[in-house]
Each structure stands twice: as structure tokens, then as C-alpha cells.
Amino acid sequence: MSKKRVALLGATGSIGTSTLEVLRLHRERFELFAISFHSNVEKASKIVDEFHPEYVVSTSNKKLEFENQLFGIEGLKTVAHEADIVVVATGGIVGVFPTIEALKAGKRVALANKETLVSFGNIVKDVLRNSNGEIIPVDSEHSAIFQLLDGRRKEVKNIYITASGGPFRAKPVEELQKVRPEDALKHPTWSMGQKITIDSATMINKGLEIIEAYHLFDVSPERIKVVVHPQSIIHGMVELVDGAFIAHLSTPDMKIPIQYALTYPERLSSPAKTFNPFEISQLIFEKPDFEKFPGLKLAYDVLNEGREYPAIFNAANEEAVFMFLRGRIKFTEIPEIIRRVLENNPGFDPETLDGLLEADQWARQEAKRQAERLT
């Protein structure tokens, strides 16, 4: 069996780190063909020393002591075109470019970058329909739904995406005004990067996943439900037309969905800890609190609105999160800034990549303007 060549884009992040653990376990099946990094030169150098990839892509002006080094979007597209499997775990909207390139080349995209489908879902789906490529979701919730839907799409009534509830699930809404960045970064079950951890605290992360699920599974927005499940053992559920539910359970470990995206449709032994049902005394399910987490309601609104609104929602949120982390705005002002940006949308062309990129850039600047008005 020839080894599959893997391009790991975003190799120095949390998803990249977990992917490397999977590759270490299955060296007989996979070869790390290429990596990309942004600014963590030290970590990228260690990966190169261990795995000896053929290419390294820098998405910044950082350089390594490496012969085959590429840069920027063109570098990402080059390795995406040549690899067999492309793990898109980059941060931000840059992930759309290697995703489209890989799909056009008929490759598998193991998609861990939310922005690709949230901001550019219709365009990516058009490319997918007209190519021999495939998208296998890496997000634990979408991986769960992907597996549960296999062979039973016509039997499905609703899909349920689970949410941990983040660090403020039980915190009174009036106390959220005082939340500091260090408080919001204490996630109860997952170890993730700063931006996604803040998104989990606001539950906007779940809003982004609703939009992703819409594009991945062709399910109407009203059939995509969110249920708060603080144990993070059940990652997704499907309600069938006869009233039965089926669920996907595992330990909260990203190595499981990452490996499945690489090996699909096969299943192999995993480096993750096996779920032990005897260690769990109960599984809790709660309705999401839209008053406490208004960003979740905004996500449903922009999905129903369509057009360029999801791209604006994503960009405004990203800028607001960064401003919160830098202490420029309050935690509760994150969804308020997003709402104001959405209301001021002047209109952009949602049918082209350039139009959506323009909407993204406008939303970032508008988020900064709105933040100044709040202070």
C-alpha cells in the first residue's frame, strides 16, 4: 500500500498538534508531505526535524532554514494541489484558497477551518459539485453528524449539535459584564486556541457550526438544533422520522475525528483515550440560553438571511474577539458589535469570491469603528 501524502496546513496549532500524533501512530499509511505555519518558527522547525516534509509554507514573512520553502496563498495552493489529503487547519479565511485548489484537483480535504464554509459556503459547494474532490469534516460535532447520517439521510428529521456551554454555562447573565479574557480562556473540557476558546465562551462557536452544518449536510436551518451537553461525550445526535435518536459518543479528543477524516471509510486504532461508560454517572442536556448568549441567535438570523451576511458575521466576530483579548472591549460587547456591523451592511456581491472577500474586509473595519463608539 502506497502512503498517502498529507499536507498539514496550520501545523503548529492545536489541530496540527493532534494531527501529528495521529501521523506518528500510522507512519505506514501516511507521509507528511507538506506543512504550513504562520509565526511559530520554533515549533515548525521541530516538526520539520522530525517528519522531513518535502515542502514548508510560511503564511507570514517568517522563514525557516529549509530549501523547499513557499510563501502565502500561492504556497498553500501549490501544496494543496500536489498532496493526496489536505488538512485545512489554518486560522481565518485563508483556508478557502487551498480548499478550493484541492477540490479542483480531486483531492480529499479534511476540513478543520470554520471560516471556509461559514464565509464562502456556496462558492465552495459549487466547486465541490463540479469536481472529484471530497470534504470530510474534522470538527468533532460535524464528524459525528457525518458518521450518523451515513446511509440514512432520507430518514432524518433533525440533527443536533452538542455544545459544552463553555465556562459561563452556569454564570448569571448579569455577571458576564465583568468577565476577563483569562476567565473566558478556561474551557471546561477542550484544549483549543485562544480565538476558538473565546468563541466557545460566547457560544458563537456553536453559531458558526450551525452555518457549517447547513452547508455540509444540506439541512434547512430550522432542522439544525443546538443542545448544551457539558460532559462533551456526545458530539452529535440525529433524530429520525420514527422518533428514534442515534448519537455519537467518545472522549473529548480531537485525534478521533482527525484520524477518521484521514482514514475514511476505514477505522483504525487511535491514540485517543477510549471512552469508558462506567466512568460517567450522568449525561446532562439543556436548552441554550439565547438571552445569555445572543451571538447564537444572531447565527441563525444570518443563516436565514443568507447572501454575504454569514461572511460579515464571521469577520466581525473575529475582530471583536481579538479586541476583547486585548482588553479593548467587554465580553458582552462581542455580540453587540457583531449585531451593529450586520445592521450597517451596505451590500456586497455574494456570488463571487471577490465580493465575499470585500464583505469580510469591510466588516473588520466596521467592527473596529463600532468598538470605538462603545468606548
Q: Are 171 and 237 in the same domain?
A: yes
Q: Are 314 and 240 in the same domain?
A: no
CA dihedral 177, 181, 184, 186 (to 10 degrees): -150
DSSP readout, 165-190?
Answer: -GGGTTS-GGGGGG--HHHHT--SS-
Domain of residue 350, CATH code = 1.10.1740.10
Q: Are 216 and 155 in contact (CB under 8 A)?
A: no
Q: Are 11 and 85 in the same domain?
A: yes
Q: Are 75 and 58 in contact (CB under 8 A)?
A: yes
Q: Are 176 and 230 in the same domain?
A: yes
Among residues 73, 104, 138, the one where a domain terminates is 138
Q: Are 47 and 62 in the same domain?
A: yes
C-alpha to C-alpha distance for 169 and 179, rounded to whole angstroms: 13
Q: Average pLDDT for consecutive 10-residue bins of the chain (375 residues)?
A: 94 96 97 97 96 96 90 97 98 96 98 97 98 97 96 94 91 91 82 85 96 97 97 96 97 96 96 91 93 96 97 98 95 97 98 98 98 86
Q: Looking at residue 53, what is its pLDDT? A: 98
Q: Is residue 199 part of a domain?
A: yes
Q: Are 236 and 160 in contact (CB under 8 A)?
A: yes
Per the prediction, the chain carries an average pLDDT of 95
Q: Are 171 and 104 in the same domain?
A: no
Distance in Å from the first CA to the final CA of the chain: 61
Q: Is residue 367 part of a domain?
A: yes
Q: Is residue 259 part of a domain?
A: no
Q: Are 225 and 312 in the same domain?
A: no
Q: Are 145 and 290 in the same domain?
A: yes
Question: Residue 19: which domain range?
Answer: 4-138
Q: Looking at residue 280, what is its pLDDT? A: 87
pTM of the entire predicted model: 0.94
Domain of residue 48, CATH code = 3.40.50.720
Count of structural domains, the chain: 3
Q: Are 175 and 60 in the same domain?
A: no
Q: Looking at residue 191, what is its pLDDT? A: 66
Q: Is residue 106 part of a domain?
A: yes
Q: What are the strands, taking DSSP E only, across the chain?
A: 4-9, 30-37, 55-58, 69-71, 85-88, 108-111, 134-137, 156-163, 224-228, 234-240, 245-249
Q: Is residue 155 part of a domain?
A: yes
C-alpha to C-alpha distance for 312 and 125, rounded to whole angstroms: 19
Contacts of 236 (CB under 8 A, 6+ apart): 141, 142, 143, 144, 145, 148, 159, 160, 161, 162, 247, 248
C-alpha to C-alpha distance for 101 and 78, rounded to whole angstroms: 8
Q: Looking at residue 190, what is its pLDDT? A: 67
Q: How far is CA 57 from CA 10, 107, 113, 244, in A?
A: 10, 19, 17, 47
Among residues 103, 138, 173, the one where a domain terminates is 138
Q: Are 218 and 364 in the same domain?
A: no
Q: Is residue 107 part of a domain?
A: yes
Among residues 236, 263, 294, the one where a domain terminates is 294
Q: Are 17 and 103 in the same domain?
A: yes
Q: Angle at which helices 72-82 and 96-104 pack, to 10 degrees?
A: 30
Q: Is residue 268 part of a domain?
A: no
Contacts of 311 (CB under 8 A, 6+ apart): 118, 119, 120, 348, 350, 356, 359, 360, 363
Q: Looking at residue 142, what is its pLDDT? A: 98
Q: Are 186 and 100 in the same domain?
A: no
Q: Is residue 289 part of a domain?
A: yes
